[in-house]
Amino acid sequence: MPIRSIVLVSSPEAAILRQRAAAVRRIDRDLRRLLDDMVETMREAPGVGLAAPQIGLGLRAIVVETPLDEDDPERGTRVFRLADPEIVAVSDALAEDQEACLSIPGLFGDVPRHERILVRALDYTGRRVELDLIGFEARVFQHEIDHLNGVLFTDRVTGPDKLYALREAEDGSFERVPCSEAAVAAVAARADLMPTAPSPSAWPR
C-alpha cells in the first residue's frame, strides 16, 4: 500500500486544506484502500491523525491512532479508520493543550478543545458507530474533523502568542520561539471561528 504525500500549507495544492470536504456515504473497496494508505502515511510521518484533504482528497475520511495508555506506550494503540465523522455533542468543559499539524511543519499552538465529545461515523466495514471520546483522543478527533471543514488548528488559538515554534536548548529542553508574522496573519484572518463549540452544546444523557 502506497504512502501518500502530505499537502502542506506552503504546497501549490494548499487550497484543498481550506475547503469543505464531500461526504463519503458508502464504504467500498477504494475507500478502504484509501483509509489503509492514510494509516500508513500517518505512521510514516509520524503523526496521531490524518484527514483526507491532507493527502489532496476532498473526502470526509479520517484516521486516528492513539495510545491505549498514555503512560505506557508498550500497551499499544487503538486505530480508527472512519468516514463521515460528525461531532453530535460536546462537553461545556474546554481544555487547552499543545497541538501540531502534519500540514504545518514546525508550528505549535496551545489550542482550546472540548474535553469530551460524541462522534458518529461510518467505520471501516461501513457500520454506523458512535464514539464517546475524552481527553487526548477527543482533541485529536476535533483537530481531524476540523480538517474536513477547511479549519486548521491555527484558526482555533485565542491569540497570536499561543502559536510558536520549538527550539531545543543546550540542556535538551525545548524553548518556545514566537511564530512568524505570516502565522499571526493566518490567525487574525480566522478569528471569527472562536469559540469551537458546534451545536448542540448540551451533552445527551
CB of 143 to Ni ion, least distance (A): 6
Burial class (CB in 10 A: 0-12, 13-18, 19+), 49: buried
Distances (CA, A) of 19 to 6, 16, 46, 166: 16, 5, 24, 29
Helix (H, G, I), strand (E, B) or coil at 99: strand
Q: To the nearest whole angstrom, how small is the minimum distance from the Cβ of residue 168 to Ni ion?
A: 23
Q: Give the residue with the Cβ less far from Ni ion, 114 or 147.
A: 147
Considering only residues 65 to 124 of the shown chain, the ones binding Ni ion according to CB under 5 A are 101
In the complex with Ni ion, the residue whose CB is nearer, 101 or 138, is: 101
To the nearest whole angstrom, how small is the minimum distance from the Cβ of residue 201 to Ni ion? 24
- Residue with Cβ nearer Ni ion (190 or 203): 190
Q: How far is the CB of 183 from Ni ion (least distance, A)?
A: 14
107: Cβ contacts below 8 Å, ≥ 6 apart: 100, 101, 154, 163, 164, 165, 179, 183
Please indicate whether residue 144 is annotated as part of the active site.
Answer: yes
Q: Does 7 bind Ni ion (CB under 5 A)?
A: no
Backbone angles phi, psi at 11, to 5 degrees: -75, 155
Number of chain positions touching Ni ion (CB under 5 A): 1
Q: Which is nearer to Ni ion, 84 or 144 (CB)?
A: 144
Marked catalytic residue, from 144, 170, 175, 181: 144
- By CB under 5 A, the residues from 131 to 150 that bind Ni ion are none
Per-residue CA distances from 101 to 8, 61, 130, 135, 137 (Å): 9, 16, 25, 18, 15
| Chain contacts with Ni ion (rule: CB under 5 A) | 101
Residues with a known catalytic role? 144
